[in-house]
Amino acid sequence: MRVLVVDDSLTMRRVIKNLLAKIGITDVVEASDGLEALEVLEQTDGIELILTDWNMPNMTGTEFVEKVRSDAKYDNIPIIMVTTNASKSDIIRAIGAGVNNYIAKPFTPETIKEKIEQTMARFKKA
């Protein structure tokens, strides 16, 4: 499974990549903000899941998600928001933008595994 990881923190991208590797996901493409992520999405075939941060320069996670959700060709790609913004109103805003699931930082390897499995299962059924 090819996953796009979007985060302005190189360290966080490494952490997420390492966790994904532990659950058998090694095909990872990266972007450091929403703008770059849109380019990567456009130029990379076969992305099946997006994990995106919220707070990033140039284009935030929610702006990125809104852009992705406004393009029907990405309708089959679930998006998980991985963020420290974890208040109820934040979550509602992110879901409103088109996010399919939510992971609050800091998170455990178990959490990321569970959320990915949950998201992919729900998405396939829908």
Which residues are near Mg ion by CB under 5 A?
8, 53, 55-56
User: Which helix (H) or strand (E) covers residue 81, if one does?
Assistant: strand 79-83
Tokens found for residue 118: 């949950």
Minimum distance of Mg ion from residue 55's CB (angstroms): 4
Q: For residues 8 and 62, which CB has a smaller minimum distance to Mg ion in the complex?
A: 8
Bridge partners of 103?
82
Q: For residues 18 and 55, which CB has a smaller minimum distance to Mg ion in the complex?
A: 55
Minimum distance of Mg ion from residue 104's CB (angstroms): 13
Q: For residues 57 and 96, which CB has a smaller minimum distance to Mg ion in the complex?
A: 57
Percent of the chain as helix, strand, coil, to the nearest 5: 50, 20, 30
CB 79 within 8 A of CB 65: yes
Minimum distance of Mg ion from residue 109's CB (angstroms): 20
